[in-house]
A and B are shown apart, each in its own frame.
With several copies, the nearest count.
Chain A
Amino acid sequence: MVNLGFSIGDLHFKNPVMTASGTFGYGPEFDDFLDVSRLGGIVVKGTTMEPREGNLYPRMAETPSGMLNAVGLQNKGIDYFETNLYPCISEYDTNIIVNINGSYVADYVQLAERINSLEKIPAIELNISCPNVKMGGMAFGTNLDSAREVTKAVRSVYSKKLIVKLSPNVTNIADFARVVEEEGADSISLINTLLGMSVDVVKMRPALSTITGGLSGPAIKPVALRMVWQVAKAVRIPVIGMGGIMTTSDALEFLLAGASAVQIGTASFIDPQASVKILEGIEKYLIEKGFSDIKDIVGFINRTC
């Protein structure tokens, strides 16, 4: 038997495969396809203080080996989450992580305080990288001072595990990683979507109502992998890698490059069972390669070259 577990501080994950925020709903959407409790964790849809309707339709465009989305954090707000969603999803035997979002630092702080008191939520993912909202979101994740400020503020009120999710739309991702580590983040997840665009040449207009949107899927994998590699070298806290992971081999690339765990995003749209298949694949790989612990391969390429 191989050990697949990893930890963020004293928070244990039974395996390194989680699902990415905004691509797995709250979990029940996938109950028909897999046993959600088998996963290392699930990160639920981006949540805000107030309910949000998100952006206008069309919010999606397909691109070569990827997709653009401009959902814009549609969600029913923290009250609804607490009353209606939390009771049912806290039954899952896995780490449930809430992805939190705001327009102002105060929004993030309020949300973090609220979620701090939810017993079955052991961690939050601080989303400072949503490219699809007019205020907040990526603005925090593309400015070092803002990234520092919001991380610090949330850290001061949130006592459980704080994961900060970085934006890839920056010149130097390692700088952001170091800043949030300094301010007390327990882990870093990346990447969120790359800012992209698509034009409908028949209709001669942008494909998305918001013109630009977030690019995800295999197309972004090489960029995501490079950034995860850079960040893993820059910080000591565990790094959670994502961006275009569709197969076991993709997930392994991230682990070998230095990620302690991975999140599966867009892949779940194409194959709702992708996450568990990848989990099984990683275990098989370890056995075949003769490793007994997932830690043996994390950052492997950095050891040899």
Chain B
Amino acid sequence: MAKRIEDFEVIDNKRINNDFFILDLFSVNKLPDIKPGQFLQVKVDGSPETFLRRPISMHDVDYDNNAIKLLIQIAGKGTETLSKLQNGDILNIIYPLGNSFSIPGVKEKVLLVGGGCGIAPLLYLGKWLKSIGIAPDILLGFRNSERIIEYDEYLKIGKVFLTTEDGSRGEKGFVTAHSILSTLKYDRIYCCGPDSMMKAVAMYSRKNNIVCEVSLENLMACGIGACLCCIVETVKGNLCTCIDGPVFNINDLKW
């Protein structure tokens, strides 16, 4: 599927809390086929500190309206600049990039696990799973109840389980401490979140013989396999997160 470089127009910029906002982007062109887990590289104008593009996951894709949604966490200068975009502003984007989450077997019981901005790719993944007849469970971890975002969106896809670190909502602790992991048996887990979360989920999956894929957020320069900056050590040697990933089966990682 050919990569493109294209201008998108901001049609909505919704702040959801102190840290997160959702950008709705519209293209005059028909969207190409975008697979769950893929990402884009956006050019952030306005500062010498945002020299390179910023990689952001496809949070949702609306083929009917040639629109995509991004869920973004303010992490630094680049994402801060993006958070201030107004309707009508133009963003230059390279997409769709990267591989995608694998297709589960029809009978498989699937769990999506996410935390922080790592929940971003899981919405589109969930919708896509639903469209092929799989209703995944969703386990989301947040620091506290005030940080919970997009809950209602995920509810539309499947059952949602929550953990908060302070126990202010859902179960207390990290995602891997959630009781669902000890009561239900999943065939496949898709996970995206902070490294520590992904590693814990990987350990759990390995121990319980569950197929597990994680989506990495390595630092990237090009996003198209040209610079070799975004590598991750795998059993096949150093692979590029941007073209061989961002989704990796944990069996390939040296975790």
Please report the C-alpha to C-alpha distance between residue A284 and residue B201 in the assembled complex, in whole angstroms.
37
* Total residues of chain A contacting the partner, CB 8 A: 34
B233 near A57 (CB under 8 angstroms)? yes
Q: Which residues of chain A in 50-72 are interfacial with respect to chain B, using CB atoms and an 8 Å cutoff?
A: 53-54, 57-67, 69, 71
Q: Does A270 contact B (CB under 8 A)?
A: yes
A270 near B227 (CB under 8 angstroms)? no
Q: Which of A19-27, A100-108, A150-158 contacts B (4 or more CB under 8 A)?
A: A19-27
Chain B minimum-CB-distance residue to A271: B5
B218 near A269 (CB under 8 angstroms)? no
Q: Does A217 contact B (CB under 8 A)?
A: yes
Against A, the Cβ 8 Å flags (1 = close, 0 = not) of B226-239 are: 11111111000110
A65 near B48 (CB under 8 angstroms)? yes
Contact of B228 among A62, A63, A71 (CB under 8 A): A71
Please report the C-alpha to C-alpha distance between residue A265 and residue B83 in the assembled complex, in whole angstroms.
30
A60 near B5 (CB under 8 angstroms)? no
Q: Does A137 contact B (CB under 8 A)?
A: no
**Chain A nearest Cβ from B229, distance in angstroms:** 4
A217 near B229 (CB under 8 angstroms)? no
Please report the C-alpha to C-alpha distance between residue A62 and residue B222 in the assembled complex, in whole angstroms.
12
Q: Does B53 contact A (CB under 8 A)?
A: yes
Q: Which residues of B contact A33 (CB under 8 A)?
A: 3, 5
Q: Which residues of B contact A62 (CB under 8 A)?
A: 49-52
A269 near B226 (CB under 8 angstroms)? yes
On whether A272 and B238 interact (CB within 8 A), knowing A23-B226, A57-B233, A59-B229, the answer reads: no
Chain B minimum-CB-distance residue to A25: B226
Q: Which residues of B contact A272 (CB under 8 A)?
A: 5, 94, 222, 224
Q: Which residues of chain B in 43-72 are interfacial with respect to chain A, using CB atoms and an 8 Å cutoff?
A: 43, 48-53
A-B contact pairs, 12 of them (CB 8 A): A25-B225, A32-B2, A32-B3, A57-B233, A61-B219, A63-B51, A74-B231, A74-B238, A268-B226, A269-B221, A270-B51, A270-B53
Q: Which 5 A-B pairs rank lowest in CB-CB distance, beginning with the nearest?
A: A60-B229, A269-B222, A32-B3, A25-B226, A65-B48
